[in-house]
Structure 1
Amino acid sequence: MTFSEITDLLTTQFGPDIQANPQAIQPYLTVPANQLVAICQFLRDDDQLFFDLLACITGIDNGLGTDTMEVIYNLTSIPYQHNLMVKVVIPRNTTGKELPTIPSVAHIWRTADWHERETFDLVGIRFENHPDLRRILLPTDWVGHPLRTDYQEQEQYHGIKTK
């Protein structure tokens, strides 16, 4: 199935809020966060699509200037041999200490469990309804999220110089 056919199928099913960027080096769809779970469930379960593999989740901090973050999902249909990149843009939540939040897809693809934990740990995006959202690469008492653009590294960690 081609990118434009997938786009047409999804916009028919979920409405015009799905935005396609077919001119990108790797074409992608931008979907609203509030429709993410339903769209992902459809992408996996529809007989024409069957995206059975979530290959990667990437979290991006676009910085204080844009005040947004992105979560990017790379999907593959192994039997149909087609790929799809899905992007969700969310507010960065710079006011206060609340982390940006997006729904978890770990109940759709089990591999999302670890990918979401890594994104939470390093970028500071919270995945709502995740079965076990805790740090996966850094110690549990680490302060901050190192891949955020405003991250301030600690001078020391348990008496060990970090800089």
Structure 2
Amino acid sequence: MPGTRDRILDAFVDQLIEHGIATVTIEKVAERAGVSKGGLLYHFPAKPALVEGLADRLRAFTDANLARADKHGVVRTFLETSSPDSNEARHYWAVISAVQADPGSTTDRTRSLLAAVFEDWSTRLRAAISDPILADIIRFTGDGLYLTAVTGLPLPSNHRIQNVIRRLLAEADKR
């Protein structure tokens, strides 16, 4: 069973996705999480801290994928994780929605965490591929797949995605 902090963040994600940041209140999140307002405030003193908590989770998703990349290769892992599972996609959508809709709910640390996720992958791809244009093509392809999944739009068939991955891996292996 998830701990209190995780239940609060899960409730916050649900509220954000269902109702948008403008209507999310500490009280609604606390009620949904099954904790008192004081219990929520103990873990997250204000709405920006909740958004930052979600950004921390995204950082954890990325760190796990980067560890996987250390074992299985940066290009392969980046492309294979560009179609995230629904839990990761929901979190990413919630954070992006909050950051875009209500800049006041975003701390500098939240913005830094989000920027670092993109920069970490870019840096690793550029280090793994000698051709910087190919590294960008791979990054933009992965980002496009990720954004499609995060927004809930239909992804291309798995067959098409795998064909793109194979082609990009073959190109990366040449360089």
TM-score of the pair, normalised by structure 1: 0.34
Larger strand proportion, structure 1 or 2?
Answer: 1
Whichever structure has more helix as a proportion of its residues is 2
Instruction: Using CA pairs under 8 Å that are at least 6 residues apart, name the structure with larger relative contact order, 1 or 2.
Output: 2
Q: Normalization by structure 2: what TM-score? A: 0.32
